[in-house]
Amino acid sequence: MKIATFNIQNIFHRHSDLVEMEHEKKSEIWREEFETLLFRENCSAKDFIRMRELANLLGFHKAPFQEQLSMQNIDGNLHIKSPGKVMETKATYLTDWNGWTKLKSVPISKKAIKNKAKVIIDVNPDIILLQQVENRQSLIQFHDVFFNGNENSSYNEIMHIQGNDGIGLGMGILLKRGYHIKSIKSYSNERDTIGNMLFNSDFQQYKIKTPKNGTVVLLSCQLADENASIDLRKRQAEKVSEVYTNLMLKGYKNIIVVGTLNAPSYSDSISPIMESGILDIIKHNSFSVMSDSGTDASYFRMGAYRMGVNIMQKDYLLASPNLYKDLKKCGMNRKGMWPLKKPEWVTYDTVENEKDAASDHPLLWAEFKLEDSIQLYKKSA
Would you kindly state where each structural domain of the chain is located, as residue ranges?
2-14+108-380, 16-57, 68-102
Confidence (pLDDT) at 334? 96
Confidence (pLDDT) at 90? 45
3 state SS of 183: strand
Residue 87 CB burial class (10 angstroms; 0-12, 13-18, ≥19): exposed
Nearest to 133 by CA among 103, 157, 165: 165
**Chain-centre distance of CA 78, in angstroms?**
38
Backbone angles phi, psi at 328, to 5 degrees: -85, -50
What H or E segment, with its residue span, contains residue 143?
A: helix 136-146
- DSSP letter string, 214-277: -EEEEEEEE---TTS-HHHHHHHHHHHHHHHHHHHHTT---EEEEEE--S-TT-GGGHHHHTTT
Give the C-alpha separation, 12 to 95, whole Å.
Answer: 33
Give the C-alpha separation, 180 to 343, whole Å.
Answer: 41
Contact 78, 89 (CB under 8 A): yes
For CA atoms 53, 59, 63, 69, the dihedral sign is: positive
DSSP 278: -
Confidence (pLDDT) at 58? 67
Confidence (pLDDT) at 100? 54
Confidence (pLDDT) at 17? 76
Averages of pLDDT over runs of 10 residues in the chain (381 residues) are: 97 83 63 73 78 70 49 48 50 52 78 97 97 96 93 93 90 96 96 90 96 95 88 96 97 96 96 98 95 86 90 96 96 93 85 92 95 47 39
Residue type (1 letter), 57? L
Confidence (pLDDT) at 349? 95
Task: Tell the CATH superfamily of the 2-14+108-380 domain.
Answer: Endonuclease/exonuclease/phosphatase (3.60.10.10)
Confidence (pLDDT) at 374? 43
Give the C-alpha separation, 54 to 38, whole Å.
Answer: 11
Confidence (pLDDT) at 73? 47
